[in-house]
Structure 1
Amino acid sequence: MPTRGALPLLLSTALLSASVASTGTLHAAPTPSTKDACIDGADEGQSLRDEGKLRDARARFLSCANSSCPGAIAKDCGTWLADVESRMPTVVVTAINAAGNDLVDVRVSVDGQPFLERLSGTEVTIDPGPHRLRYEYTGVPSMPPVEDNIVIYERQKGRALVAKFQSATTEPPLAPASDASPVSSPKRSAPIAAYVVGGVGLVALGSAAFFGLRGRSDYSDLDSTCGRTHSCAQSDIDAVKTKFTISDISLGLGVAAIGVAAVLYFTHPKEPAGPRSGGAPLLNHAVIAPTRGGGWLAGYETAF
């Protein structure tokens, strides 16, 4: 049995132990600032989740699902965290060059915000919804970047995103200037006489057709009128004969002229083609045009 002097000592020891235990309990409980941070993380995480910003929501739920937060808040944040992780899509980003080889030094941005500094071949999380992707190959700064529009869906896992880079375009080198005239194959330069004679032949053929048709028409008229009674005037008969004669002569002249023009054209020697000077003709050809009186006019036209 303790003595009367030891009793106060035992009471003091008991009170000190209770005080230490009480102090330990107070340190284990969350402080007001920590509790507020947990509540804010839970509230912000739910708002971000509802907006489809699952990556940011996941970070907020991680901050409030740990043991430093009150038990009820940590439990709710843990449930929300599991839901967000199951809904969050993932992608695997790859890039190839024009030859089909894999590229690694590719910087990727999503909607203008940094996403990847370098490709690793592993799955990365991304928010669902429409996105504008930009790929930049840092290994060759002159290579044009690749941009793409995509739509990512919730719970879509491991979607492959492939950026196909094309080789940097380069302009072909300019050919060195040279005073020498370019070498070209010789070409046939028809003489002017061939065009003139050919034009005359065409006019003659036109005359043959004209007088032939007129002669046939006059002959038909005479045959249907005075020809039935053999009472046609001799002058009318001679006029018809004259038209047929002119038609025959024109036909022969036209055929002969066309033949001569062909001979002049094909027997003319070829000349080497060279740069055209300022005074050289650009166009030489015969011109045949009808006249108001029913005849034909032949000429030769040269354009510079």
Structure 2
Amino acid sequence: MTPRTSPRFLVAAALSAAACLQPARARAGDAEACFTASEEGQRLRDEGRLREARARFIACGGADCPDLVQSDCAGWLSDVTARVPTLILSAQDEQGHDVADVRVTIDGAPLSARLDGKAVEVDPGERVLRFERAGSAPVELRLVVREGEKLRRVSARLGRTAAPGASAGAPGGGAVPPREDRAASSPASALVLPIALGGVAAGSGVAYAALGLSARADADRLRATCAPRCAEADVDAVRAKILGANIAFGVGVAALAGAVAALVLRRAEPGAPAATAAVHVVPLRGGAAAALGGRF
């Protein structure tokens, strides 16, 4: 006679089997999540989204993941952490004083609600940082952030907000600088004309001295050897040197005067025609006349 199985025994066996299967199903689900995090982390890393990739590698490197996945994710996590760039942000007001109540965004996303001097992590690539502070015109800085770049200092100078009705044009909507500031922004170009005229004056002075000394030496030689019956060609040569010396002298004086005038008047209004000058020399009998003409 076959012994009969108690219904209570069958229920107990079913419950025991279900209890054994539940952890196995949970472990299978955890392993699948680990593999998914591992794959997403690699994809994000290759796209340059290093901060998001690091979060995935932390997830797949946990103790609940298979040993092989843990090992791979731990290595990738170390590599990505070393490659994440960091910036140290700072800002100054119009007087050059450090300010902390500044909000910073990166590519339109929040980065820092207040400047505290601590390094912040960003992804590599071309980034736009925007500094905003109450009462100041916002400032945007465009950077190229490199992988592995650590503790790079980035500073912004915040000016006052433009007055109502003021024309925009400065970066970030700030006020347009005064005319004298814009005119003084290129002092080198304003000195081109004075330097050029000064060079002409110096060269003319050298030519005047050389021709004058040579003419005097030739004249003394003629007086000592053939005067008053010297050859006409020799006399003309001396006269030509004297004329050249006089012309050089006139050009030098005119150029020097032009250089001084250009220096005095170089702070012209922006947009005015560029300063120009011309030296006119007219040979005269026994010398020359020089005149300087120009517009400054």
The normalised TM-score by structure 1 is 0.46
Larger Rg: 1
The normalised TM-score by structure 2 is 0.47
**Whose relative contact order is higher, 1 or 2, with alpha carbons under 8 Å and at least 6 apart?**
1
